[in-house]
């Protein structure tokens, strides 16, 4: 098709099901004409991702667990064989032990801290290392972050520390890869009920709080994040890199409870 993304090929990592933010982005860029490849994490998610890939006419680039570098190499090997190059990459991957996404940050264990950082932060750099070699005509990389990187949010804990490091990684990667025409940006999404979010304590309360207090008085959808993703992955954002862009109904500008917010 002749859309904004016509002629562009991209790898989308982080689709778990049809509620995933990565799925919202995949649909938006596919509708605009992109050709896609998806990865899945393990056999349980393979069964969910394969029919979703079929729905978009996407290549299934295989299993990828970012804690096992050989699986990352296998995926990029598959992309190189199939396409010989890459125009964009979506990184929508994060993990922390849910026992530590509640209570106090100070109680974080060294083991879960390291694992959270490896999966949620280092993995962006790991995939960008491989993508750079395939983005010979320039490219666009997009990751997902959250306001808990900037301000303390209840229960977000070690994931907030990880998202701060992820946002710093976006800036360093943007500086390194800019000379090659490769852009690196992040969308800071408002809370959305996904599989990953279900691990966060009191998530329903967080959703309500955002709905009552965000300037637009509603939460955001994966379709809305997808449309912002389309901007970052297309040439519309061709002079934008190193940016953290909030898609959160404006929540991040608010300093206090709204006067009309009900008590919850
Ligand atoms: P999701 O559960 O649909 O997606 C998370 C993905 O991470 C899954 O596909 C999972 O397979 C993948 N993943 C976890 N560990 C992995 C590993 N070791 N190797 C490879 N993949 C692994 O949830 P989501 O909310 O769509 O999360 C996508 C991104 O969006 C995450 O970075 C998350 O932190 C971020 N985000 C989510 C929200 C929200 O409220 N849902 C808000 C802001 C940012």
pLDDT in tens, 183-198: 999 999 999 999 999 9
Is 261 domain-assigned?
no
- pLDDT for 201 equals 84
- d(CA 91, ligand 1 centre) in Å: 9
Q: Does any ligand 1 atom lie closer than 6 A to the CB of residue 148?
A: no
Which are the contacts of 251, defined by CB distance < 8 A and separation ≥ 6? 147, 190, 210, 213, 214, 215
Give the chain's domain count.
1
Is 221 domain-assigned?
yes
- d(CA 2, ligand 1 centre) in Å: 31
Is 220 domain-assigned?
yes
- pLDDT for 111 equals 98
Which are the contacts of 232, defined by CB distance < 8 A and separation ≥ 6? 140, 142, 183, 185, 187, 240, 245
Is 1 domain-assigned?
no
Which residues make up each annotated binding site for NAD(+)?
Answer: 14, 20-21, 41, 65-66, 93, 163, 192-196
Is 168 domain-assigned?
yes
Question: Is 206 in a helix, a strand, or coil?
Answer: helix
Is 263 domain-assigned?
no
- pLDDT for 207 equals 96
**Considering 40, 105, 122, 146, which one is annotated as catalytic?**
146
- pLDDT for 21 equals 98
- pLDDT for 262 equals 93
Q: Does any ligand 1 atom lie closer than 6 A to the CB of residue 157?
A: no
**Considering 40, 147, 156, 231, which one is annotated as catalytic?**
156
Is 146 an active-site residue?
A: yes
Is 3 domain-assigned?
no
Q: Does any ligand 1 atom lie closer than 6 A to the CB of residue 194?
A: yes
Q: Can you list the residues of the chain whose pLDDT is less than 70?
A: 1
Extract the tokens encoding 128.
């960008």
- Enter the pTM of the model: 0.98
Percent of the chain with pLDDT over 90: 97
Residues 223, 66, 114, 44: what is their CA dihedral angle, to the nearest 10 degrees? 70
Q: Of 116, 26, 134, whose CA–CA distance to 75 is shortest?
A: 134
- pLDDT for 254 equals 97
> What domain range is 143 assigned to?
9-250
Question: Could you tell me the sign of the dihedral formed by the alpha carbons of 91, 97, 99, 103, in that order?
Answer: negative
First-to-final CA distance of the chain? 47
Is 122 an active-site residue?
A: no
Q: Does any ligand 1 atom lie closer than 6 A to the CB of residue 65?
A: yes
Write the CATH number for 156.
3.40.50.720
Rounded to whole angstroms, the Cα distance separating 56 from 12 reads 12
Q: Does any ligand 1 atom lie closer than 6 A to the CB of residue 95?
A: yes
- Strand pairing category for 35-40 and 88-91: unpaired
- pLDDT for 264 equals 86
Rounded to whole angstroms, the Cα distance separating 245 from 107 reads 31
- Which among 12, 21, 164, 245 is the best mutation to test ligand 1's pocket, defined by most ligand atoms within 8 Å of the CB? 21
pLDDT per residue as tens digits for the range 68-108: 999 999 999 999 999 999 999 999 999 999 999 999 999 99
Is 35 domain-assigned?
yes
- pLDDT for 228 equals 98
């Amino acid at each position: 098709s002749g859309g904004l993304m016509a002629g562009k090929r991209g790898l989308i990592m982080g689709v778990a099901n049809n509620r995933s933010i990565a799925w919202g982005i995949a649909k938006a860029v596919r509708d605009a004409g992109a050709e896609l490849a998806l990865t899945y994490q393990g056999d349980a998610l393979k069964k969910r991702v394969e029919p979703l890939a079929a729905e978009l006419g996407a290549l299934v680039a295989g299993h990828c667990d970012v804690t096992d570098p050989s699986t990352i190499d296998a995926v990029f090997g598959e992309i190189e064989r199939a396409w010989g190059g890459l125009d964009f990459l979506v990184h929508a991957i994060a993990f922390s032990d849910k026992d530590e996404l509640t209570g106090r940050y100070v109680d974080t264990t060294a083991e879960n801290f390291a694992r959270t950082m490896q999966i949620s932060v280092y993995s962006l750099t790991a995939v960008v290392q491989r993508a750079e070699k395939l983005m010979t005509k320039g490219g666009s990389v997009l990751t997902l972050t959250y306001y808990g990187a900037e301000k303390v949010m209840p229960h977000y804990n070690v994931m907030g520390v990880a998202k701060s490091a992820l946002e710093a990684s976006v800036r360093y990667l943007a500086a390194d890869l800019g000379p090659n025409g490769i852009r690196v940006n992040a969308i800071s999404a408002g809370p959305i009920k996904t599989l990953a979010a279900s691990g966060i304590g009191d998530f329903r309360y967080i959703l309500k709080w955002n709905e009552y207090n965000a300037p637009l008085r509603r939460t955001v959808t994966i379709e809305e994040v997808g449309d912002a993703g389309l901007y970052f992955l297309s040439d519309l954002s061709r002079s934008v890199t190193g940016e953290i862009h909030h898609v959160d109904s404006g929540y991040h500008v608010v300093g206090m409870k709204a006067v009309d917010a009900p008590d919850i």
